[in-house]
């Protein structure tokens, strides 16, 4: 007789990511850093000097809206503003993976502005159809 919590007579196994909790898809800072590193690897010549930082919020409102990022072309630095990205756009995020994609989107926008490219042009060819 099998126990209620087993399958085919074997005990249940834990998920690989069990215990990681909310950090399963990374914190905001982790996502920004990983996305910047990914872009730097995909565009090594253009982004060799890329640096980034995270600030809670911008100090200025532009056209009545809080910016989500700032691209400093002189210093090759992007600043991603955490509070506007997390709280003032895309109000319904059903899960942590969607939250990660949402954050990555703004990193792509910022780096695209930094390089004067459309963010979609930064995607590697293997992801385009």
Q: By C-alpha distance, which of 84, 81, 77 is closest to 113?
A: 77
The domain locations on the chain are: 32-121
Task: Read off the tokens for 61.
Answer: 């409102």
pTM of the predicted structure, to 2 decimals: 0.75
What is the number of helices (H) and of strands (E) in the chain?
A: 3, 5
pLDDT at residue 81 greater than cutoff 50:
yes
Which run of H or of E encompasses 109?
helix 96-115
Task: Fold for 32-121, please state it.
Answer: Zincin-like (3.30.2010)
pLDDT tens-digit series, residues 17-41: 333 344 456 789 999 999 999 999 9
Q: How far apart are CA 70 and CA 58, in angstroms?
A: 9
Give the span between the Cα atoms of 50 and 75, in whole angstroms.
8
For residues 9-23, give the mean pLDDT. Answer: 43
pLDDT, tens only, 101-126: 889 999 999 999 999 999 989 987 76
Query: What is the DSSP secondary structure assignment for residue 65, as one 8-state letter?
Result: B
Helices marked H in 13-74 — which ranges?
A: 28-42
């Amino acid at each position: 007789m099998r126990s209620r919590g087993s399958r085919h007579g074997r005990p249940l196994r834990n998920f690989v990511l069990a215990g990681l909790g909310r950090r399963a898809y990374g914190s905001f800072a982790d996502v920004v850093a990983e996305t910047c590193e990914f872009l730097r690897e995909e565009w090594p010549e253009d982004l060799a000097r890329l640096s980034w930082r995270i600030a809670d919020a911008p100090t200025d409102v532009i056209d009545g809206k809080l910016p989500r990022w700032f691209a400093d072309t002189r210093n090759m630095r992007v600043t991603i503003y955490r509070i506007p990205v997390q709280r003032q756009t895309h109000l319904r995020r059903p899960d942590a993976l969607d939250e990660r994609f949402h954050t990555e989107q703004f990193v792509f926008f910022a780096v695209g502005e930094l390089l004067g490219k459309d963010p979609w042009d930064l995607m590697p060819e293997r992801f385009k159809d």
